[in-house]
Amino acid sequence: MAPGSRDQAATAGEVVAVFGAYGHTGRFVVRELLDRGLVPVAVGRDVDKLRELAVADGPLETRQASVDDPASLDQALSGVSAVINCAGPFATTAAPVIEAALRARIPYVDVAAEIEANADTFAHYTDRAREAGALIVPAMAFYGGLGDLLTTAALGDWTKADEVHIAYALSHWHPTEGTRAAGRISRSRRSGRRVRFTQGRLEYRDDAPPTADWTFPDPLGTQPVIAEFTMADVVTVPSHVPVPEVRTYMTATAARDVVSSDAPPPSPVDERGRSDQTFVVDVVVRTGDEERRASARGQDIYAVTAPLVVEAVERILSGRVRGDAVGVVSAGALFDAADFLSALKASDCLELLQ
């Protein structure tokens, strides 16, 4: 198969459960599954919201389930080939849905951006998933997944690095309520401290994050950023790349947006339901005196998560993965990163800059 091509015929008709299907990101995921010929089953706690979704995107099968009712989760995952968890906060939902996926013997993929929730998934399920021959893929989203894929592509034939730097330039960041809720839980778990990945481990600090300037690809150029604005990449990248330092950066304007109580939620501006938000992700990896780079840009960080996670599920179901595909595995370890990114480019949801 040519790089970047899809084998949609191999997965057409496969049934995929979407937990949290009526949420902001979940709706994008349902539409992406339909567009690719897969069959989504919408799963969630709220029956009325499930019905509204079925009317809007129907015909669509819906199943009511709650994370505090294992039997309902088992029923919701009956007869499906995989489950995508879009329901945050993942500190609450990840473990129950993973447990249900293990009982159902199906792959589990989520879009968690919460650092601690992703770290918990690796810590608590790596051995169990391997013993069960199961596959769990956390953070298969804009944060965690895309940065990991770009990092892996930039590494090329390098098997390790001294430093990984991932810089995000967002035109603005109008957060969903789910993003706000996840942020509140993360801050509570950290007792208000910030986190960074240094000397091969997560470190919690009470001081303010440093500021810096980052030179993004043209036409953005040099922008002020919050350095150590730590995202899920500090969990996904070190899970398979030996690297002592992983730093993530966020443009200062977007960082202010996401913590502002006045920032509105995303508002659709096109027929695909995307907001007018644009983004650039710029990755630099260093080993000794050598440096390699990979960058991409696109529109709407929530919307682009849908092709990311659905592309992952398609590849899992059609066997286009690296290694034995068991355990808890991040995007960069599981997939051919360059080929995966080429597929996203071919679907017009991402532009590769270098």
Q: Which amino acid is at 59?
A: P
Q: Examine the domain organization and report whether 71 and 157 are in the same domain.
A: no
Domain with 240 in it: what CATH number? 3.30.360.10
Domain that holds residue 224: 143-301
Determine the pLDDT at residue 7: 59
Q: How many whole angstroms separate alpha carbon 266 and alpha carbon 254?
A: 13
Q: Examine the domain organization and report whether 183 and 162 are in the same domain.
A: yes
At 127, is the pLDDT very low, low, confident or very high (cuts 50, 70, 90)?
very high
Give per-residue pLDDT as tens, 276-322.
999 999 999 999 999 999 999 999 999 999 999 999 999 999 999 99
Domain with 78 in it: what CATH number? 3.40.50.720
Determine the pLDDT at residue 10: 65
Q: Examine the domain organization and report whether 267 and 327 are in the same domain.
A: no
Q: What are the φ/ψ torsions at residue 23 (nearest 5 degrees)?
A: -75, 175
Q: Examine the domain organization and report whether 185 and 82 are in the same domain.
A: no
Q: Examine the domain organization and report whether 34 and 172 are in the same domain.
A: no
Last residue of a domain, one of 285, 301, 317: 301
Q: What total number of domains does the chain contain?
A: 2
Judged against a pLDDT cut of 90, whether residue 128 lies above it is answered with yes
The verdict on residue 1 lying in a domain is no
Last residue of a domain, one of 301, 318, 340: 301
Determine the pLDDT at residue 246: 98
| Percentage of residues of the chain with pLDDT beyond 70 | 97
Q: Examine the domain organization and report whether 106 and 252 are in the same domain.
A: no
